[in-house]
Amino acid sequence: MKDSDKKKKSRIKNKRVTFLAVLVCVVAAAIFVFSLINSNVSTSDVVDTEIAKRYTYNENITTSSNVVRNETLLTYDGSKVLFYTVSDGDIVSAGSEVALVFANETDALNYNRINEINKEIEILESLNTSYDNVNTDVSAIDKQIEMNLKNMISAVNSNSSHQIEDSSNNLIYSINQRQVITGETSGFAEQIASLKSEAAECARQGGTYIDAIKTTTGGYFVASADGYEGLVDYHKVTNLTVDSYNDNLKPNKVGDNVIGKIVSGLNWYVVCKLNADEALTLSHSNVYPVISFPNTTCTNIPAELAALNQESKQSDAVAVFRCNYMNSPISHLRNETVQITVNSYTGLRISKSAIHDGNVEVADGSGEIQRVQGVYVRHGSQLEFKEVSIMYAGPDFVIIDETPDEGVLVSGETLKLNDEVVIKGEDLFEGKNVQ
């Protein structure tokens, strides 16, 4: 190899070495500058924050309960095949017929089928006689069919036999109405004649009742009994003690002649046993209690504390709540898990770690220095201290009063909705610059 070629390769190699050396120096300088800058940023300047959000917290007592109502048992002493003429949960007046008595099951089935046929005939005859006045807007009828279908599904979900029957009839009517206006049928004379023939055949086979059962009082009809009826004197329920409550937890045997009951009276009661701490919480409640039965559809029922019977502040107690809202599901309640809302707090929810209690000093209106509790709020890169009034303290959060009464705060400045609250940081103080 020529000397000139060797010198050329040597120069290229030297240039590569020089470039690598420069690159190493640049990287080292960058690392040094970054370290220098970072050393001037104290870890105490770094804070974690959260946003103050409005929140409602309900303080609840959950326990077992017994429902006491004014109930009258309905009985029939003869041998019986019954056909109820009212639905479970219907409201009836005194002297109303609630059931018919048949000699055998065939007569009862025929009577029931004749009733069903008569209702079907009534619907079809109504469509026949009002043919000229039928709405000819198919889209409107389709919307009506959709609504009736939704109503029937809702009735099935609520297990209301009366609503199921009504919504089913309405759905059939609207479907038949659509058939009329679209020309799918010219009338229902043939169907009506067929139904009348079927009704006559049912009547020929038998379908006559032998007795009728009527109520002696008005109220909600319930087609069953559970043995708790009358165990607790409805008119003396507010006098219940812990001992008498425990004695009334076992139901009586329901007689074979009982065919249902009537729940009457506007007021009904929820009775439950509480421990001493629960009784104290209830006695200091800041709201009218709200009753819910979480395992049922009966929720958010307004109530009034009618009695809180307790031998001493350290003993168990019996709480009696008076309610005056009644419907079919409520008329079936008895031994239920109950949730009692005894206090409700609406304010700003923040983490308990944000609270600085008694280690911050502020000047009041007269210039006197006082120690207060509060939080640090981040505005841009600076901190501001704000006093707080705690409404409720949970295990890891607190509810802050947005509008505390005059005189509660020393400085008058408190936390606001959407403030950025410091929940973690070191050496915090008013005006501090933070990352």
| 203 vs 212: CA distance, rounded Å | 19
State residue 407's pLDDT score: 84
Q: Which residue is it, tokens 């009733």?
A: 115
- Does the predicted model carry a pTM greater than 0.75? no
Contacts of 348 (CB under 8 A, 6+ apart): 52, 53, 54, 55, 399, 400, 402, 415, 416, 417, 419
Q: Where are the beta strands (DSSP E) in 205-244?
A: 211-214, 219-222
If we measure between CA atoms, which residue out of 326, 306, 336, 316 comes closest to residue 245? 316
Q: How confident is the model at residue 4 (pLDDT cuts 50, 70, 90)?
A: low
The residue-averaged pLDDT of 63-86 equals 92
Q: Is the pLDDT of residue 141 over 80?
A: no
The residue-averaged pLDDT of 273-289 equals 90
Pairing of strands 420-424, 48-51: antiparallel
Q: Is the pLDDT of residue 162 over 80?
A: no
Contacts of 263 (CB under 8 A, 6+ apart): 69, 70, 71, 219, 220, 222, 326, 331
| 38 vs 59: CA distance, rounded Å | 48
Q: Which amino acid is at 60?
A: N
Contacts of 45 (CB under 8 A, 6+ apart): 432, 433, 434, 435
Q: Is the pLDDT of residue 16 over 70?
A: no
* Residue 275 CB coordination number (10 Å): 14
If we measure between CA atoms, which residue out of 95, 65, 45 comes closest to residue 296? 65
* Residue % of the chain over a pLDDT of 70: 84
- Classify 48-55+348-424 by CATH class: mainly beta
Signed CA dihedral, 179, 183, 185, 188: sign only: positive
CA distance readout (Å), 412 to 133, 254, 330, 355, 374: 71, 66, 48, 17, 12
Which range, of 2-11, 147-156, 351-360, 376-385, averages the lowest pLDDT? Answer: 2-11
State residue 186's pLDDT score: 63
Q: How confident is the model at residue 404 (pLDDT cuts 50, 70, 90)?
A: very high
Q: Which residue is it, tokens 């009517």?
A: 173
| Residue 8, Cβ density class (10 Å: 0-12 exposed, 13-18 middle, ≥19 buried) | exposed
CA distance readout (Å), 10 to 4, 14, 24, 41, 408: 10, 6, 21, 47, 85
Contact 360, 410 (CB under 8 A): no
Residue 409 DSSP class: -
| Residue 106, Cβ density class (10 Å: 0-12 exposed, 13-18 middle, ≥19 buried) | middle
* Residue 12 CB coordination number (10 Å): 8
Greatest alpha-carbon span in the chain: 135
pLDDT in tens, 181-216: 776 766 677 888 898 898 888 888 888 899 999 999
Packing angle, helices 161-181 and 105-129, rounded to 10? 40
* Residue 356 CB coordination number (10 Å): 16
Pairing of strands 81-84, 97-102: antiparallel
Q: Is the pLDDT of residue 23 over 80?
A: no
If we measure between CA atoms, which residue out of 250, 248, 284, 287 comes closest to residue 269? 248
Write down the H helix ranges in 159-287: 161-181, 189-205, 242-247, 276-283
Q: Which residue is it, tokens 């308990």?
A: 352
Q: Is the pLDDT of residue 11 over 60?
A: no
Q: How confident is the model at residue 128 (pLDDT cuts 50, 70, 90)?
A: low
Our CA dihedral for 85, 90, 95, 96, rounded to 10 degrees, sits at -30
pLDDT in tens, 231-278: 999 999 999 999 988 877 789 999 999 999 999 988 999 999 999 999
Q: Is the pLDDT of residue 28 over 60?
A: no
